[in-house]
Structure 1
Amino acid sequence: MSKPQVLIIGCGAVGLLQGYYLSSGADITYLVRPGRKPAFVGPKHLYSYKDDQLYTFSNYRLVDSIEEISGETFTFVLDTLDGNTAQSEGGTATIAAVGNLINEKQNSGCFVVYAGIGLDIESHYTRVMRIESTRLFSFVSMLVHQPTPRISIPDEADRSLTAKADLLFAYLDVNVGVIAFDTQPQLTTKLESIYNTNGKLVVQRVPAFVAPWFMSINMLHFMTWKIDGYRPFEYLRGNTELWSLMVRAQTEILSLPRFGWTGWVLSFVVKSWAAEKLNTPLINGAKPMKLEEFNAFHHGRKVVKQDIRALEDLEKEGEKVAYICLVPKESFKTKFYTELSKEDFSASASDYVRSTS
Structure 2
Amino acid sequence: MSDNPKSRILVIGAGCVGVITGYHLSLAGADVTFLVRPGRAEELKRPQVLYCYEDNKLKEYKSYTHIADPLEMIGANYDYIVIALDGASLRNELGQELVKTIGKAARQTNTKIILGSIFVDLRTWFLEVSGLAGEQVTNGHLDIHVYPTKRLTLPSQPPTNPELIAKADYAYSDKLEEGFSVDDSSPAVANGFTEIYNACGISRCAVKSAAEYAVGINPMLPIFPACELLGWPKFRDIGSKGEIWSLAVAAVREIQGLSIHGELGQRASAETTEAGLAAALAAWERHMIPLDLQEFNRFHHAVKLQSQGREHLRVCLSYGEAEGKPMSALKELLERVDHPQTATA
SS for the counterpart of 1:11 is coil
- Residue 120 of structure 1 aligns with an amino acid whose one-letter code is D
Instruction: Please say if 1:276 is aligned against 2:278.
Output: yes
Tell me how far 1:210 sits from its aligned partner: 1.4
Tell me what 1:240 maps to: 242
Tell me what 2:129 maps to: 128
Tell me how far 1:171 sits from its aligned partner: 0.5
Instruction: Please say if 1:289 is aligned against 2:297.
Output: no
Relative to the length of structure 1, the TM-score reads: 0.87
Instruction: Please say if 1:26 is aligned against 2:6.
Output: no
Tell me how far 1:182 sits from its aligned partner: 3.4
**Equivalent in 151, 167, 170 of residue 167 of structure 1:** 170
- Residue 18 of structure 1 aligns with an amino acid whose one-letter code is T
Please identify runs of 4+ aligned residues in structure 1 that moved more than 4 A: none
Tell me how far 1:42 sits from its aligned partner: 2.5
Instruction: Please say if 1:92 is aligned against 2:92.
Output: no
Q: Unaligned regions of 5+ residues in structure 1, if any?
A: 343-357
Whole-Å separation in 2 of the counterparts to 1:326 and 1:114? 31
Contact 2:222 2:330 in 1 (8 A): no
Whole-Å separation in 1 of the counterparts to 2:213 and 2:162? 39
Cα distance per residue 1:28-61 (max 9 Å; x no partner): 0000113431122231100001210100011111
Contact 1:151 1:297 in 2 (8 A): no
**Equivalent in 43, 48, 53 of residue 57 of structure 2:** 53
**Equivalent in 181, 190, 201 of residue 179 of structure 1:** 181
Tell me how far 1:233 sits from its aligned partner: 0.8
Whole-Å separation in 1 of the counterparts to 2:165 and 2:240? 34
**Equivalent in 85, 95, 98 of residue 81 of structure 1:** 85
RMSD of aligned Cα (Å): 2.3
Q: Unaligned regions of 5+ residues in structure 2, if any?
A: none
Tell me how far 1:310 sits from its aligned partner: 0.6
Deviates more, 1:235-244 or 1:269-278: 269-278
- Residue 161 of structure 1 aligns with an amino acid whose one-letter code is L
Change (3 A) 1:62 1:164: same
Tell me what 2:111 maps to: 110
Whole-Å separation in 2 of the counterparts to 1:293 and 1:160? 19
Cα distance per residue 1:233-276 (max 9 Å; x no partner): 12322102122112222222222333333333332112334423
Tell me what 1:351 maps to: none
Deviates more, 1:195-204 or 1:43-52: 195-204
SS for the counterpart of 1:163 is helix
- Residue 284 of structure 1 aligns with an amino acid whose one-letter code is R
Whole-Å separation in 2 of the counterparts to 1:150 and 1:235? 23
Tell me how far 1:340 sits from its aligned partner: 8.1
Contact 1:150 1:297 in 2 (8 A): no
Whole-Å separation in 2 of the counterparts to 1:90 and 1:340? 35
Deviates more, 1:82-91 or 1:157-166: 157-166
Change (3 A) 1:203 1:245: same
